[in-house]
């Protein structure tokens, strides 16, 4: 038998794992990373996502991003050194955090509240190495202005099912764009992961691993 070649077979090649572990079950974040050409695997963190008393929106998303990354890091060995990315996105209007809708009626109420007004979308992103070390974090804010819409338009959109798992009950990357007049800042942030800032954060984490 040749070294490394089993009888009647081919050499066994063990590929290294992807450099990045995305601590999220979001298909939108997975798509954004794939479009950026990053090799990654994804795991949902499954942590509680409630705000603490007196916690600001910015502090909330940064904390949840860190906790998601840390929870997934615990499942992996320190070596080979890999980068765990955690992220959390919220919608804020009138200093109130709007989460994902409980049902279709709640989705209609959330979206109606945003129509004809400008709201903020904040995403916290954290990068942490699988070995020892602290997380690098950032928060990106975008401002989204929506047009007015009729109740019939809102009902038809909610009936499509698209907004039922989205913060604020709309998806910029989908049919929800019809309600959006303008976006000030990162559009990928509104979708769930600010890519320009995330790529810079990954590069900082790479330098930290070296």
The residues carrying an active-site annotation are 88
Q: Which of 41, 36, 46 is nearest to 16 (CA)?
A: 41
**Distance, CA of 149 to CA of 31 (rounded, Å):** 29
Beta-bridged to residue 143, according to DSSP, are: 120, 184
Q: Which of 18, 203, 41 is nearest to 127 (CA)?
A: 203
Q: What share of the chain is helix, strand, coil (3-state, %, to 5)?
A: 35, 25, 40
**Distance, CA of 133 to CA of 208 (rounded, Å):** 9
How far apart, in Å, are the Cα atoms of 196 and each of 123, 185, 187, 202?
13, 11, 10, 10
Quick one: tokens of 1?
């038998």
Neighbours of 183 (CB within 10 A): 16
**In sequence order, what E strands does 46-98 have?**
83-93, 96-98
């Amino acid at each position: 038998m040749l070294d490394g070649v089993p009888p009647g077979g081919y050499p066994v090649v063990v590929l290294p794992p992807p450099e990045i572990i995305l601590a999220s079950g979001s298909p939108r974040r997975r798509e954004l990373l794939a479009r950026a050409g990053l090799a990654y695997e994804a795991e949902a963190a499954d942590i509680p996502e409630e705000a603490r008393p007196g916690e600001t929106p910015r502090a909330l998303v940064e904390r949840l991003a860190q906790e998601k990354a840390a929870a997934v890091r615990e499942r992996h060995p320190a070596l080979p050194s890999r980068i765990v990315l955690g992220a959390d996105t919220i919608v804020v209007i009138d200093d109130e955090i709007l989460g994902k809708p409980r049902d279709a009626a709640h989705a209609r109420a959330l979206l109606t509240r945003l129509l004809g007004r400008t709201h903020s979308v904040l995403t916290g992103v954290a990068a942490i190495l699988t070995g020892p070390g602290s997380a690098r974090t950032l928060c990106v804010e975008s401002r989204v202005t929506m047009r007015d819409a009729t109740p019939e338009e809102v009902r038809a959109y909610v009936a499509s099912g698209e907004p039922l798992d989205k913060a604020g009950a709309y998806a910029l990357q989908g049919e929800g764009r019809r309600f959006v007049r303008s976006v000030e800042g990162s559009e990928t942030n509104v979708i769930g992961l600010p890519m320009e800032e995330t790529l810079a954060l990954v590069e900082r984490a790479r330098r930290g691993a070296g």
